[in-house]
Structure 1
């Protein structure tokens, strides 16, 4: 193994995990925000992923977090 590279197990061990209740609360907050965006956008179908990602960005920015949960679509 090259110097400076880490095993997969070491990388995962470094990342803190949040309690399940917190994850559920975060998911619920994002779902509610995404639904509000869906309604505000005229209830257009086919925008669910865009609404979810925007809601995720908004909720995380309100909480002061910068890390996104989902991977944004490639441009």
Structure 2
């Protein structure tokens, strides 16, 4: 949500504060990184896929955690 402030007869939009990054539980970053590396290797070590590998690794790790809690 932007905040609108009036200054000398001109309206200026001030951007909202950036979202606070989510803190991951202990060891989660390493677990996701390891899985992303495994995906990179399994997918032929292609360049330009780092973000997709990371996002897929996050999803896999989160699914594993949710399955373990059920």
TM-score, normalised to structure 1's length? Answer: 0.55
Question: Residue 27 of structure 2: SS of its match in structure 1?
Answer: helix
* Ranges in structure 2 where 5+ consecutive residues have no aligned partner: 1-21
* Ranges in structure 1 where 5+ consecutive residues have no aligned partner: 1-16, 66-75
In the TM superposition, what are the counterparts of 1:5-24 in structure 2 within 5 Å?
A: 23-24=25-26
Between Structure 1 and Structure 2, the one with more helix by share is 1
Alignment length (residue pairs): 47
Q: Which runs of 4+ in 1 moved over 4 A?
A: none
Aligned to 2:43: 41
Q: C-alpha displacement at 1:23, in angstroms? A: 2.5
Aligned to 1:64: 66
RMSD over equivalenced CA pairs, Å: 2.5
